[in-house]
Structure 1
Amino acid sequence: MTILKSICVEISGRQVLSIDRLEISDGDKIAVLGGNGSGKTTLLNLIFGDFEAFSGILEKKHDFLYLKQNKTDIGMDNETNYEFLSKIGDVPFHNEITACSGGEKIKLYLSNVLENEYTNLILDEPTTNLDLKSTRFLIQTLKNHQGIIIFSTHNRELVENIATKIWIIENHNVKEYKGGWESYIYQKELEESTLQNRNTQIQEQKEQLEAAIENKRESLKKISDITVRKKNKRINPGRLAQSKSKGSSQKGIARQIKSLEKKLGALPTQEDITDRKNIEFPLVESLALNSKIPIIANGLTICMGDRILLDNISFQIAAGEKVAFVGNNGTGKTTLLNYIYNRGESISVSSNVEFSYVKQGIYFVQRSISLISYAMLNTKYSYDFVVKVLKQMGFDECDLEKEIRIFSMGEQLRAVIATSILTPSNILILDEPTNYLDINVMMGLERLIKNYPGTVVFTSHDYTFVEKTATVIYELSGCKLRRIK
């Protein structure tokens, strides 16, 4: 058993990870989850032995092969598993690894570490750049793997099918949950329900104490007012005892107020609970579509040079639908989205359609403009509503005034998606919007798409995301289009 105990990781004086105790046993399949920059890769490096700048105890009893994220060379002597390669999908064998695409590279790296089914593995984002077919095959392969697997991922299907336990990194702390994704969600909802009840009880106690303190202060004020009025009056001997009694009463009430204030100050702080409520979009009448079916394709054929991508396909997209186009890499999904956006031949688009398009791989030029200013540039929604959308996309209050140019690629993508949703449009096109998004942000995007008042057309290799958002699903395969939902 490998044990991590009382681990603390600090980088440049900033706490990155805090671990009370974690255990790794034979046969474990552990998903490491957390937001972008939360320390997932640092934790994997620490377990592997590539990171030594920590305090605490690491009792390492297992050796691992490590598939690193964005690795430029395989860096190990294992033989390539050609049987695995043949099943996960065609991989051109270039003379240089640098000539391979991102998807081809990840398949080659996976074939290298999966040569032996009893090897202990650490995998950092193993489904990156894999299409649905390849991801499904990888899931089945890892499910049958006999060695330990510790992996980071943003793919919930992988977590649900593989993980025996989950390590969640939140606010630098690592907490363990037993089971896969659905089990984690159930446990998390129970935790939040308990926390909500606790917060409610604390709030009720706070209000009761505040009311009691106010009542005591009112009583004290009344006695003080009576004392002031009688201050200059002559007090006869018969009333002297009564005056002393009032003075004692004032002191007693003051002591009671101090006691109540002490209890109020000792109340536990209410803990924040992540807001996962759906957002209700305000109605913008000027963006209403004048057609029930704003997009119609009839006998559409798309070629790339001499190659036919799509051959004589037809489809309709109704107003308000959330339509997903899915398929393996190279089947023409992005090309089809571009064709729709550009109102290509054989596609009929209603005259008052206003597109908002988030293209794959988009990034910002260096711009000296704050996030909130950028989001407010072209929107018809209120400031408060814009802030709600930005929060669903994983931004905090402290991010609103930050300049876009300092954001990471993942943060920039989140900003682009949020502002595209807020831009006046009635058809939103998203090409692989889940790339670089962590799971919590992805779930926020799901809520936004479900409640977006217009039509959404998108592609994604994330099966869970597609299932949770799409009302219609078309599959592209063999130059044809088939509706599967």
Structure 2
Amino acid sequence: MEQICFELENIEINYLDKEILKIDRLAVHQFDRIGIVGKNGVGKSTLLKLLTGHIQPTQGKVNRHVEYGYFEQLEAPNGNEADPRLLGKLQVSKKQDFLSGGEQTRLKLAQVFSHYYECLLIDEPTTHLDQEGISYLLDELRYYYGALVLISHDRAVLDELVTTIWEIHDGKVNVYAGNYSEYIAQKQLERTQQTQAHEQFLKEKNRLEKAAEEKKKTAEKIAKASSMSKKESKAKPNRMFETKSKGTGQKALQRAAKAIEHRVEKLHTVEAVQEERPIIFHQASTLELHNKFPIMADRLSICAGDNVLLEDVSFQIPLGKKIAITGNNGSGKSTLFQTIVDKGPGLTISPKAKIGLFQQMSYQFTSDETVLQLLQTSSTYEDGFLRSVLHSMRFVGTDLQKKVQSLSGGEAIRLQICQLFLGEYNILLLDEPTNFLDIHAIQALEKFIKSYKGTILFISHDKQFIANVADGQFHISDKKLIQK
């Protein structure tokens, strides 16, 4: 029998009178490979910290039976220094740490892997990692002999490493057998079954309501006939028995109608599957580009100090396409984007190009506006559409009334993505936009990109994200930009 590594019993975690997690019983066994999924803020990291003891439950207990290793998520930072090249109300600063984000992640992972633990608890390890770093992670965990509990926004990593999914939804943990793709298939089946059950519920409800209505109408007809019979019975006393019989029939029908209505009330209500409003970004005619290739390079070279990143590179970016730029950390991807923004030598940029840039930096809004007000003042879209875009990026309910200057780093990143796609641009450069997004927000970003009419270049190490949205791909290797 497999050893139990962790056991949670009668757990409740509350914050400011709000229930975050409620778990009757949940266990991690010796060779479990568990992926934790759910929207940002539902309690994924909280659940890991509960297992480690970094967080104590409001009630209940956690039993720990093994030595474990813990990799804590790198937080999305906030910045302070203004950069006029970006959106006017947004401040940006680059972290001045000695190690890059990717190097910090690799170091923390190496420290975890330097010792054998019977269980590993790992929170978002692929943030900032390039493909080489992700391969290192997969090599270490693929054949790891022990229990693994993993939070990741990289769907390919979840597919590779886990055999069970813990989905956190409305404070509960729902358990699904299989990897992430198998979990998605099960969720789709649930949606299909819910749709069928909802249709059956409506059909039965309508049938019963119609039956009740017919009995009421019949009872009304009997009542009218009975009224006429009463008048006639005064003149002809032998009709009195017939009138009483009709009255009895009327009451029986009324009782039957009420019984049917009671059955309607007792029906188990099945809600309809909520379909999100489609996001379609328009583009003003004044922003239309007519160049077949709005960005072109002819023997472009890029240096960082004495370090040559790209040498004699030539390429053409087709109009309206979504192009992925890949390469290892430090290969020059972000520098290439900045060179395009600066319209550096060796580049030919369409004269009508309006370029929006999302950078791998720290974000902090300084405006006193609310989330919704910020988009209202910087966009030509109607409020309903703005709300749909914000909802896609998980700004719901009172989130729309938050002051933007109080947003967390992750929230500020999601809001800037919204602002870019709603802005007066026809070319977008997105530098690792999926960092610090959960899977649901990444899927929303995929929809944004697919429905965007302009040209998009994006840097990413997420294979699934690239496969889902890219029309083409360029890879930086050995100072060259190679079309794949």
Q: TM-score, normalised by structure 2?
A: 0.86
Q: Matched residue of 1:159: which SS? A: helix
| Structure 1 segment 356-395 matched on structure 2, within 5 A | 356-361=356-361, 363-395=363-395
Task: Give the drift of 1:446.
Answer: 0.9
| Higher mean C-alpha displacement, 329-338 vs 42-51 | 42-51
Greater Cα shift, 424-433 or 312-321: 424-433
- More displaced, 368-377 or 166-175? 368-377
Structure with greater contact order relative to length (CA < 8 Å, sep ≥ 6):
2
- Contact 2:74/2:127 (8 A) holds in 1: no
Q: Which residue of 1 aligns with 2:38?
A: 34
SS at match of 1:296: strand
- Whether contact under 8 Å (2:9, 2:60) holds in the other structure is yes
Q: Contact 1:48–1:63 at 8 Å: present in 2 too?
A: no
Is the 1:393–1:414 Cα contact (8 Å) retained in structure 2? Answer: yes
Partner of 1:66: 70
- Superposed CA deviations along residues 184-240 of structure 1, whole A, max 9, x for unmatched, are 111221122112211221122233333334444444555556677888888432443
Instruction: Using the TM superposition, give the Cα deviation of residue 384 of structure 1 relative to its aligned residue in structure 2, in angstroms.
Output: 3.2
CA distance in 2, matches of 1:222, 1:282: 58
**Shift in alpha-carbon separation, 1:270–1:261, aligned structure 2, 3 A:** same
Distance 1:473-1:216 versus aligned 2 partners, 3 A rule: same
> Which residue number corresponds to residue 151 of structure 2?
152
- TM-aligned CA deviation for residue 307 of structure 1: 2.2
Runs of at least 5 residues in structure 2 that lack an aligned partner in the other structure: 76-95
Shift of residue 122 of structure 1? 1.4
Cα distance between partner residues in 1 of 2:223 and 2:347 = 84
1:105 matched residue in structure 2: 104
Aligned to 1:78: none
| Aligned-pair CA distance for 1:173 | 0.7
Q: Report the alpha carbon displacement of residue 268 of structure 1 after superposing the two structures with TM.
A: 2.2
Gap change, CA 1:164 and 1:477, over 3 Å in 2 = same
Q: Which residue of 2 aligns with 1:189?
A: 188
User: For 1:25, which of 29, 36, 39 is the aligned residue?
Assistant: 29
Deviations 1:372-405 (A, max 9, x none): 3333334344433333322322233554444434
Q: Identify if the C-alpha distance between structure 1 residues 146 and 244 changes in structure 2 by more than 3 Å, giving closer, same or farther.
A: same
Trace 1:60-459 onto structure 2 (pairs within 5 A): 60-70=64-74, 99-117=98-116, 119-222=118-221, 235-236=234-235, 237-271=237-271, 273=273, 275=275, 279-281=279-281, 284-361=284-361, 363-459=363-459
SS where residue 365 of structure 2 aligns? coil
**CA 1:401–1:390: 2 relative to 1, 3 Å:** same
Query: How far 1:174 moved relative to its partner?
Result: 0.7
Q: What SS does the aligned partner of 2:363 have?
A: coil
| CA distance, structure 2, for counterparts of residue 334 and residue 404 of structure 1 | 26
How many aligned residue pairs are there? Answer: 459
Q: Using a 3 Å threshold, how does the CA distance of structure 1 residues 324 and 157 change in structure 2: closer, same or farther?
A: same
Q: Distance in 1 between matches of 2:406 and 2:271?
A: 30
Distance in 1 between residues matched to 2:301 and 2:251, nearest whole Å = 91
Q: Which amino acid aligns with 1:322?
A: K
Alpha-carbon shift at residue 426 of structure 1 (Å): 2.2
Give, as a single letter, the amino acid of the residue that structure 2 aligns with 1:64: Y
Q: Aligned to 2:482, what secondary structure does the other structure show?
A: strand
Q: 1:217 to 1:131 in 2, by over 3 A?
A: same
CA–CA separation in structure 1 for the residues paired with 2:97 and 2:281: 46
**Structure 1 unaligned regions, length at least 5:** 72-96
Give the letter for the 1:46 counterpart: L
Q: Give the aligned partner of residue 75 of structure 1.
A: none
Q: CA deviation at 1:415?
A: 1.9
Q: In the superposition, relative to structure 1, how do residues 52 and 280 fare at CA in structure 2: closer, same or farther (>3 Å)? A: closer
Alignment TM-score, normalising by the size of structure 1: 0.85
Distance in 2 (alpha carbons) for counterparts of 1:272 and 1:56: 35
Residue deviations 1:305-333 (CA, integer Å, cap 9, x gap) = 22222211111111121011111222221
1:251 Cα deviation (Å)?
Answer: 2.6
Give, in whole Å, the separation in 1 of the partners of 2:413 and 2:65: 40
Q: CA RMSD in A?
A: 2.8
Residue pair 1:118, 1:145 contacting (<8 A) in 2 also: no
Distance 1:224 1:424 in 2: 69
Q: Assess if the C-alpha contact under 8 Å between 1:278 and 1:448 holds in 2.
A: no
Aligned to 1:14: 18
